[in-house]
Chain A
Amino acid sequence: EPEVTQTPSHQVTQMGQEVILRCVPISNHLYFYWYRQILGQKVEFLVSFYNNEISEKSEIFDDQFSVERPDGSNFTLKIRSTKLEDSAMYFCASRTRQGAGQPQHFGDGTRLSIL
């Protein structure tokens, strides 16, 4: 069964550095998402992406964050000038275009630790 893959599984970065989290969505999916889960808390929406542009973003997704689909397969989340509070699990998700309400399929996540 096709799945969403995320790399790396764990990223350790010094505060102030830039980090890029990578995702390969399911190949025939057209909607892409990033979510964040701070340890022990709920999963929070960051951004949705469709047709090579952001379709919606949350208040969390400020100028520090950016997303890109550099080629036909990858979907990246860049975090500039990382802060301690950026430490979290970051999930990528994708879903098919066909029909509203189709479930989003999640990757295994990237655990980001900011030191």
Chain B
Amino acid sequence: AQKVTQAQTEISVVEKEDVTLDCVYETRDTTYYLFWYKQPPSGELVFLIRRNSFDEQNEISGRYSWNFQKSTSSFNFTITASQVVDSAVYFCALMGAGGTSYGKLTFGQGTILTVHP
């Protein structure tokens, strides 16, 4: 069975602070994919990033960066110099590449990020 755990239920920061959202996953698949989605107050789900299980290279995109560590089954997401517009619920998700897990996303519980001005 696949499982994604986002231990931080809510995080509150002041604008310009850096913030890291944690994600830990469990899977028996040897090949899998990890995703982060953002859900702003308007409710839609916005795709942010995808990582393959065989590519542990970390990635930076503007103020966003991702740290994938297979040894600890973690895929953490950092926002640098946070802004009020970053306030949203952030979901980490896992997609397996084999058996019955292929194609479906297993989501974590989400982390509510509030950035105060």
Chain A residues in the interface with B (C-beta under 8 A): 31, 33, 35, 41-45, 48, 50, 55-56, 58, 89, 91, 93, 95, 100-109, 111
- Residues of chain B with a CB closer than 8 A to A48's CB: 103-104
A contact face: mostly helix, strand, loop, or mixed: strand
Asked whether A101 lies within 8 Å of B50 as measured between CB atoms, the reply is yes
- Whether B44 and A101, one on each chain, are in contact in the complex, defined by CB atoms closer than 8 angstroms, is no
Inter-chain residue pair count (beta carbon < 8 A): 65
Question: Complex: how many Å from CA A55 to CA B101?
Answer: 11
Contact of A101 among B37, B91, B95, B107 (CB under 8 A): B95
Write the residues of chain B forming the contact surface with A, with a CB cutoff of 8 angstroms. Answer: 31-33, 35, 37, 42-47, 50, 52, 91, 93, 95, 97, 100, 102-110
- Contact A42:B107 (CB < 8 A) given known A103-B47, A106-B45: yes
* Nearest residue, chain B, Cβ from A50: B103
Residues of A within 8 A of B37 (CB): 106
The 10 closest A-B pairs by CB, nearest first: A101-B33, A106-B45, A43-B107, A108-B44, A45-B104, A103-B47, A42-B109, A42-B107, A100-B97, A48-B103
